[in-house]
Structure 1
Amino acid sequence: MIGQRRELFVDQHLIESLDGKIELKLHQPTKHEVALKFDQPWEGNTSGYPTVMYDGTLYRMIYRGHRMTWESGKLLMANSPVVCYAESTDGIHWTRPELNLHKWVGKDRDKLSSPTANNIVWPGSPYTGTFVPFDDQNPDCKPTERFKAVGGNHKVGLHLFTSPDAIHWSKRDKPIFTQGALDSMNTIFWDTERKQYTLYFRTVRDRLRSIDVSYSPDLLNWTEPVPLQYGNSPPQQMYTNGVLPYYRAPHILVGFPTRYTARPLSPRLANLPPRELRQQLGDAYARVASDLSDGLFMSSRDGVTFHRWDEAFIRPAEENPDAPQNWMYGDNYQSYGLFPTTNKQGRKEISFLVSHGYWQEYKSRVARYSIRPDGFVSLHAKYAGGECTTKPFTFKGSRLSVNFATSAAGSIQVEVLDSNRQAIPGFQLVDCQTIVGNNTDQVVHWNDASLKSLAGHTIRLRFILKDADLFAFQFID
């Protein structure tokens, strides 16, 4: 029973068979403008870990301000991490409000109009290095605790923070969770489908940087952690997880883990930009000279078994010595949270932030990336064409909408099959109007027939594609 849920082709969950020149294809996002440069005294070259929350009116960004330095072959902390706040009305243009909540007593403090002229919302280590908030969707959540966050490390555990506005935060005295390495973005959300809190956290299993999951009804009592499973995907070193319910189809969990790749230092790696910085840092922190990071995409139906793509979702950019680089260990970390934006042509898109210029003083920043709604993975057919038949299901509604794109010579048609895989009269290929174009919400037409008569009955869909991508489908009224 899929009812009127939007179904994405991010995995094989609904696919019974594929025939011809057709496959699942991972798509990459488009890079846009710089959202925020980490150029304030309390920020710096190792700032990052942004989370973006959108409530329909205001976009809120929480991120870490931090700076490292190195001298005489030693890596040093220039300032302790602080938690910072920025906001936007469109998800594109961001501002730092002067909050006057916490004093800045570090670098260049004498240049500020006052010690509190900053956007710091929490100043104290050891909770600030991995501070990750969420907008609690639990219907029993108190308004004064609408925003929650976890921060900490393996020594102190994860502590819970609460806030009415994502600006004024209070910390619980005791940790709520103490297992795992906990040394990167550990994420919590209220799962509206499963009616429970879900925690994805960083740990180590079999000497691999890994991700585990645990569940709780109340943020206090947690189930025994379970390691995520990735089917036939080979072992990968993963730092962050980025797992959350996809807001257009919350029964599907999507994740954006950061992959860590350790490589032996070679002349080619040593000359990747920024070359001089790579050499300096390598003397103080050897793996920075050779190791790299990029972003992956994965999805799950049960929260434990994920379909993880081995190809990168976020790749480092073209080498350019004159621009901020993202060929360093610490680059290409994706923000936590997907948020809707509208492009200059008025089309809806899904946005998120990606780190660039890590370790590079005055060049460290996050840039906005976007992808079409549901556009992470498609059912992709070459010009020779192919077809996909779904598994049997029942639905509600009277019309079928598809999110698709074709070439000028491409096309999509849909046939409805009964439980015996026989085409249903009135909904055969000869009845289906050929679909051409590029639309996120295109209704399929079978002459004048309505799907209402088939609602509640077991059917299959047979998609015929030629030089086309099919991202998602949904039954609607």
Structure 2
Amino acid sequence: MLLPDVSGVDAMDIADRKQLLIDDSLLQTYAGLRFTMHPARKRGHVLLPELPSEKGRIGFYGSVADVDGTLMMWYWAQTEYRDDAWRKGLALATSKDGAVWTKPNLGLVARGGSKDNNLVNAFGDTVSINPHGDVSERFVLIHPKYRTDRPKGGVYLSFSPDGIHWRSHAPCVFPFVPDTQNQVRYEERIGKWVSYVRTWHPNRRVGRIEIEDLKAPWPYRQDQAPRLIWGDDCAPVPSTEIEEVLACEPELDGEDADVYTPVAVEYPWADRAHLMFPSIYQHLPPPAKGGRYGNDGVLDIHLAVSRDGRAWQRPSPRPYLPLGMDGEPDSRMLYMFAGLVRRGDRLLHYYCGYKSTHGAHPKGAMDAGAICLAEQRLDGFVSLQAGAEPGTLETKPLVFRGGRLELNLATAATGQCQVELADASGRVLPGFGHDACLPIRGNGVALPVRWQSSPSLAVLAGKPVRLRIRLRNADLYAFQFRARGLGK
């Protein structure tokens, strides 16, 4: 594929930052290759509804974060359906390895006449880390509430020093109730807070808000008529008041699907990479209620990618985490938890799965669910993939720092990869041609590229170069220039 001409455009300075091949933004040309999405590998459940405080439903929405080497997970916990109601709470679990989890007895909130449970003293959608705030506000919780009280309804925040003991921030920061797993988190790239919330236009979509001051009123267009889906006395949902960044595509998803949850991540282990793991909601005909977009259906988890958190694309219409087999804990609904954690060269996702459909909740009929683990290789979301016929790519001019080139690469036993370096005008640099590159075979997240004369790349650092890469029976996920001798 020939991409737009970049002659006369300055080279991109990538320094020693890792570059993911999630789209064609780094490429000048490619042929014989295709962008391929790689689903995460399911590893089974890690938490089940064992306590009285969570017997009705576990999970649904949740968050996970690596806090000083300890993994902390916050998840919805719901009592069994009784007296026409559930009682909801926000529960905490902790882990060191991401596989074995503990539910600490916090003794803060009574359920069923006892405080012997793992409920924290707040409730909300997702938790995020405040990297630059006061220690008393290290953790941030977002909570839309007062849906049936229009004057009070909206998004509220709580803060905590430890993720357990929370203090409410009284003023409403956003006068809409987006009824889903909403997020607010700090984005290092732009130095601002960003919230991803559900919007309706006319069905469920994802909206984005950039926020200068987290505690001050969040910006939105005030010239739009409020969208009232629950009635005139209820709080409005956000619609065209904020920027829309993701919606279902009828040609990919059909006419009766929408986006249920966002779950966006600013990927911390590479440059300019944002990931989203939305649950796509396929409505079952006929709708249970609410007209065309009814409230029953099945959901699986998909992948969207972005370079800036605003312009998103889905590399595949296939799910990143598909529905489980009939009878398995995740056979009807899957919702990704916010947050992505790393252990070695493995990335850990957590999601909740259910055997029942979205509308199967009257009189407590919804399945109680399970919180499950899925794994991904480091950077392994999307690759440029070659089959038996070799494929090639050429990057735009890049300026790097370091003396060594490493690839996140997986080849078949019959596959290989070779790399050539050229100057900005396309001339092959002496000693760095394809013929001089030692074939790379294997599977690793930081495989070194070597040329026969073993020249150091340091002589090229700071100068515009193009990478030309040949692949056969291989997947290339990422590349990175590093100082010589550094490990992965």
State if a TM-score over 0.5 links the two structures.
yes
How far did residue 63 of structure 1 move? 0.7
Superimposed CA distance per residue, residues 50-77 of structure 1 (whole angstroms, 9 cap, x where no aligned partner): 200102411100011125649xxxxx85
Correspondence for 1:226? 243
How far did residue 434 of structure 1 move? 0.5
Structure 2-normalised TM-score? 0.82
Rounded to whole Å, the distance in 2 between the matches of 1:45 and 1:352 is 23
Correspondence for 2:284? 263
Structure 2 CA distance for partners of 1:231 and 1:4, relative to 1, 3 Å: farther
Structure 2 CA distance for partners of 1:290 and 1:158, relative to 1, 3 Å: closer
| Cα pair 2:19 2:270 within 8 Å, conserved | yes
Q: What do you get for the CA RMSD once the two structures are aligned?
A: 2.6
Q: How does 1:75-474 map to 2 (within 5 A)?
A: 78-105=85-112, 109=113, 115-122=114-121, 128=123, 130-138=124-132, 141-153=133-145, 156-179=153-176, 181-205=177-201, 207-219=202-214, 220-224=216-220, 225-228=242-245, 234=251, 237-249=258-270, 251-264=272-285, 291-309=297-315, 310-320=317-327, 323-327=328-332, 331-341=333-343, 348-357=345-354, 359=356, 364-447=369-452, 448-474=454-480
Superimposed CA distance per residue, residues 112-149 of structure 1 (whole angstroms, 9 cap, x where no aligned partner): xxx111111135xxxx3x421101122xx101110111
Structure 2 CA distance for partners of 1:231 and 1:463, relative to 1, 3 Å: farther
| Cα pair 1:413 1:435 within 8 Å, conserved | yes
Structure 2 CA distance for partners of 1:244 and 1:455, relative to 1, 3 Å: same
Unaligned runs of 5+ in 2: 1-12, 221-241, 357-364, 484-488
Aligned to 2:131, the other structure's residue is in SS state coil
Rounded to whole Å, the distance in 2 between the matches of 1:233 and 1:449 is 52
Structure 2 CA distance for partners of 1:68 and 1:102, relative to 1, 3 Å: closer
Letter in 2 for 1:97: P
Superimposed CA distance per residue, residues 288-323 of structure 1 (whole angstroms, 9 cap, x where no aligned partner): 996110111111112110122322111011224xx4
| Cα pair 1:137 1:192 within 8 Å, conserved | no
Letter in 2 for 1:47: I
Aligned to 1:472, the other structure's residue is in SS state strand
How far did residue 18 of structure 1 move? 1.4
Rounded to whole Å, the distance in 2 between the matches of 1:460 and 1:231 is 36
| Cα pair 2:247 2:259 within 8 Å, conserved | no
Aligned to 1:453, the other structure's residue is in SS state helix
Superimposed CA distance per residue, residues 363-417 of structure 1 (whole angstroms, 9 cap, x where no aligned partner): 5111100010000011100011111111222111111111010000000111111
Structure 2 CA distance for partners of 1:161 and 1:69, relative to 1, 3 Å: same
Rounded to whole Å, the distance in 2 between the matches of 1:325 and 1:257 is 16
Unaligned runs of 5+ in 1: 71-75, 110-114, 267-281, 343-347
Rounded to whole Å, the distance in 2 between the matches of 1:56 and 1:382 is 42
Rounded to whole Å, the distance in 2 between the matches of 1:438 and 1:157 is 49
Correspondence for 1:23? 34
| Cα pair 2:283 2:294 within 8 Å, conserved | no
Structure 1-normalised TM-score? 0.84
Rounded to whole Å, the distance in 1 between the matches of 2:340 and 2:467 is 30
Aligned to 1:384, the other structure's residue is in SS state coil
Rounded to whole Å, the distance in 2 between the matches of 1:367 and 1:244 is 19
How far did residue 252 of structure 1 move? 1.4
Superimposed CA distance per residue, residues 135-186 of structure 1 (whole angstroms, 9 cap, x where no aligned partner): 1122xx101110111112455211111001100011011111223x411111
Structure 2 CA distance for partners of 1:7 and 1:295, relative to 1, 3 Å: same
How far did residue 43 of structure 1 move? 1.1
| Cα pair 1:265 1:289 within 8 Å, conserved | no
Rounded to whole Å, the distance in 2 between the matches of 1:104 and 1:437 is 54
Rounded to whole Å, the distance in 2 between the matches of 1:233 and 1:420 is 42
The partner residue of 2:52 within 33, 41, 46 is: 41
Correspondence for 2:16? 4
Rounded to whole Å, the distance in 2 between the matches of 1:231 and 1:45 is 31
Rounded to whole Å, the distance in 1 between the matches of 2:295 and 2:247 is 30
Structure 2 CA distance for partners of 1:152 and 1:250, relative to 1, 3 Å: farther
Identity across matched positions, percent: 28
Letter in 2 for 1:41: P
How far did residue 466 of structure 1 move? 0.1
User: More deviation in 286-295 or 23-32?
Assistant: 286-295
Superimposed CA distance per residue, residues 227-247 of structure 1 (whole angstroms, 9 cap, x where no aligned partner): 115798857511111112112
Rounded to whole Å, the distance in 2 between the matches of 1:460 and 1:471 is 17
